[in-house]
Amino acid sequence: MAAFAEGVPCWADVLLSDLAAGRRFYGEFFGWTFQEIATDYGTFTRALLGGKDVAGLVPKPDGRMPTVWNIYFAAQDAAATAVRIREAGGRVITPPVWIDEFCVMATAADPGGAVFGVWQAGSHAGFARRGTPGSYGWAEVHTRQPRAVDAFYRAVFGYGMTPSAPPPAPPSAPPPAPPPVGPAPPSAAPSTPSAAPSAPPPGASSAPRPAEGAPADVVLWTPRGEPPDPRHAIGGRVVMGEEYPAVLPAHFLTYFVVADCDQSLRTAHRLGGRVLKTAEDTPYGRFAVLADNQGAAFAVIDTSTAG
């Protein structure tokens, strides 16, 4: 049995051209340490915080691929999930495949074009730490096709959906599009995920009523069987309106928890990263959107400022 419930974000990795540069950036930015792992699909870098798995750094197999953070959703049966993806109008980019004994992994795109991964746990369950500074906190899909995308994730993962507050303004500089890549090797060590909940989304407060028949600007996802409310949310969907650049494709944005959002911006700048969206206060904490020293976009949130 997988350690994460069906559809819960359980792993994240970043696709990079220069792994050494990535280790320098994220090692100082989050305090991560690293270990290289060899698999039948090549080597990759395991990122750890306090000795526990928090993410992966993966070399680009093709230099034409974008530099990007990828998010993976837990599946009890990756093959059955791939069938549901196709039946719901999505696209399976990389069919399910075993990565040594660690996991079964697949890559797919939803009807709006946002790319995500599917993860059926083997010896590796996914995040061993989350919801604390230096680890994963939240993920949301940004799309221009909310009706089709909402129906897709209900059909594939059985999410309950709750409208939430309008999203904050998009980054001043768009993050790169997620790539249609094949599976990236996971961490080598089995992990037991922390019980800490994911960080709630910026702006997710009371749920306003959308116009009659119109999708809400923000919808929160809860796993099948959980109460559909912000407390149990594990991810969400954001509508890309006219304020988003027309060239920006649908994409997932991955959030990491930090102890101090403003200090994180200063650190990113010093390490060669960029600020795509300056820090903003929300009911769930102060957050910002950054790019690392190779251009991979991600968000940071200080949940200690929530309230």
Q: Which two tokens stand for residue 215?
A: 């999708």
Q: Which two tokens stand for residue 48?
A: 């750890």
Q: pLDDT > 70: what percent of the chain?
A: 82
Q: Which domains are present in the chain?
A: 9-305 (3.10.180.10)
Please state the rounded mean pLDDT for residues 122-151.
96
191, pLDDT greater than 70: no
Please state the rounded mean pLDDT for residues 93-120.
94
Confidence of residue 202 (pLDDT cuts 50, 70, 90): low
Dihedral sign for Cα atoms in the order 95, 77, 124, 159: positive
98, pLDDT greater than 80: yes
* pLDDT value of residue 210: 45
| CA angle centred on 223, ends 235 and 178, rounded to 5° | 35
* pLDDT value of residue 217: 92
* pLDDT value of residue 272: 98
Q: Which of 209, 214, 208 is nearest to 146 (CA)?
A: 214
pLDDT digits (tens, 9 = 90+) for 12-57: 999 999 999 999 999 999 999 999 887 776 677 999 999 999 999 9
CA distance 215 to 253: 20
190, pLDDT greater than 80: no
Q: Which two tokens stand for residue 91?
A: 């696209």
Q: Pick 296 or 179 by higher pLDDT.
A: 296
* pLDDT value of residue 68: 96
Contact 141, 177 (CB under 8 A): no
Confidence of residue 99 (pLDDT cuts 50, 70, 90): confident
pTM of the model: 0.86
Q: Which of 139, 164, 160 is nearest to 221 (CA)?
A: 160
* pLDDT value of residue 100: 84
* pLDDT value of residue 63: 79
Please state the rounded mean pLDDT for residues 116-141.
96
- Widest pairwise Cα distance in the chain: 53
Question: Could you give the strand order of the β-sheet that contains 297-302, starting from the edge strand earlier in sequence?
Answer: 160-164, 218-222, 235-239, 136-143, 251-257, 297-302, 285-291, 274-282
129, pLDDT greater than 70: yes
